[in-house]
Amino acid sequence: MKLNIGVIKGDGIGPEIVTEAMKVLDRTGEVYGHEMHYTQLLMGGASIDVHGVPLTDETVQLARSSDAVLMGSIGGDAKTSPWYQLEPSRRPEAGLLRIRKELNLFANLRPAVLYEELKGACPLKEEITQGGFDMMIMRELTGGLYFGARATEEKDGVLTAWDTLTYNEQEIRRIAKRGFDIAMKRRKKVTSVDKANVLDSSRLWRKVVEEVAADYPEVILEHMLVDNCAMQLVKDPKQFDVILTENMFGDILSDEASMVTGSIGMLASASLNESRFGLYEPSGGSAPDIAGKGIANPIATILSAAMMLRFSFDLDREADAIEQAVAQVLKEGYRTIDIMSEGKTQIGTAKMGDLICGYIR
Ligand code: NAD
């Protein structure tokens, strides 16, 4: 198979971590007989330096014509970088917001996996995390409260602010279908999270999710109120497989879930549209404090590349091989600085990429 991948290395540690993910993709292609074809794209500070803007129309077109985009991270140190002297719409982050919108990336996936080997980094009690956990938070990304009408106005001399939370059934249906499709590739359980005891938008959410569930008889569906879900994530995270939820609830719950796994350097993510296209990136930022030192953890980006193979190319076997290689390297005791603990072997970014490649068979 020929894979046309747009690559945004970005800023800070972006180029270092993406280089390792490409190394792992190339190795996977070699072993499983696929041809990787990369198109380098500029976004964020790297694009400002060359074009004066964080994202050009040409880059959007090139991204659109790729099968998927693999990204590092964008942005710099807000206190020292000249990019932050520019008006907000011309700063690095504006490029990311625009590309998500232009490509209609409505489904945000953030796996939260606690590896048995890294459970020391988890702030929860050992009896809760025994055996690790593996869940996928699926957040609606282009609707809801963050995209509704809002205003701050004065009424009878009193300042009043309001925001609106709107979802239509099509927006709910498309994310729900994605959630069930993904559950079919996992442990076949969906926890749909809402606030249906209070909100009309949540009651519609629940109704549409139930309609979609009827087409997936193998998947177990449960509904959970968002406040209960926030508690269950720290009380019993092992119960979750796919958590399906709207934009704001997902924003908060995905951060909570990622915190219980330990390091930011381990967290992959994907944002998908209605076709097979997706933008795959680590959850962390460009880490300007460690950029260029060769010590950043490339695992989140490598796991994002595995998600790309699984969700944009349907290459489950290849994605499994990468995930198993990562687990194996951790098991052997190799760690980058961010996940280092006593008795383990500290290695740099490139060595981590090399070792993971070595386990792809
Ligand atoms: P950050 O995630 O870049 O860094 C937070 C801390 O985590 C730092 O100490 C950093 O060294 C560490 N860290 C992050 N990724 C790591 C990795 N792979 N390996 C080892 N350590 C890692 O967050 P920040 O400092 O708040 O933001 C820095 C820049 O990144 C800002 O310009 C911000 O806007 C941008 N940012 C970009 C994205 C994105 O590209 N999607 C996301 C978040 C932040």
166 pLDDT more than 90? yes
**pLDDT surpasses 90 at 44:** yes
Q: What is the model's pLDDT at position 239?
A: 96
Report the chain's mean pLDDT, rounded to a whole number.
95
Q: Are 311 and 108 in contact (CB under 8 A)?
A: no
**Phi then psi for 185, rounded to 5 degrees?**
-90, 0
Average pLDDT over residues 194-217: 98
**How far is ligand 1, taken at its centre, from the CA of residue 329, in Å?**
24
354 marked ligand binding residue: no
- End-to-end Cα spacing for the chain: 18
pLDDT category of residue 259 using cuts at 50, 70 and 90: confident
Q: What is the mean pLDDT of residues 216-220?
A: 98
Is the alpha carbon torsion for 200, 203, 209, 214 positive or negative? negative
Buried b (16+ CB within 10 A) or exposed e, 27-54: bbbeeeebebebeebbbbbbbbeeeebb
Cβ–Cβ < 8 Å for 45, 74:
yes
Can you tell me the mean pLDDT for 133-152?
93
Query: Within 13 Å, how many C-alpha atoms sit on residue 44's CB side?
Result: 22
**Which domains, from first to last, does the chain contain?**
1-113+265-361 (3.40.718.10), 123-260 (3.40.718.10)
Q: What is residue 129's predicted lDDT score, i.e. its pLDDT?
A: 87
Please tell me whether 95 is known to bind a ligand.
no
pTM given for the model: 0.91
User: Does the pLDDT at position 164 exceed 80?
Assistant: yes
Tell me the mean pLDDT in the region 124-134: 89
Ligand 1: residues whose CB is within 6 Å?
13, 17, 73-76, 78, 93, 96, 264-265, 281, 284-290, 296-297, 300, 338
Kindly state the average pLDDT of the residues 229-250: 97
HSE value, Cβ hemisphere, 13 Å, CA-based, for 104: 9
Does residue 285 have a known ligand-binding role? Answer: yes
Report which of residues 132 and 289 the model is more confident about: 289
Predicted local confidence at residue 261, as pLDDT: 85
Q: pLDDT tier at 147 (50, 70, 90 boundaries)?
A: confident
Q: Determine the average pLDDT of the residues in 243-255.
A: 95
Active site (catalytic) residues: 146, 195, 227, 251, 255
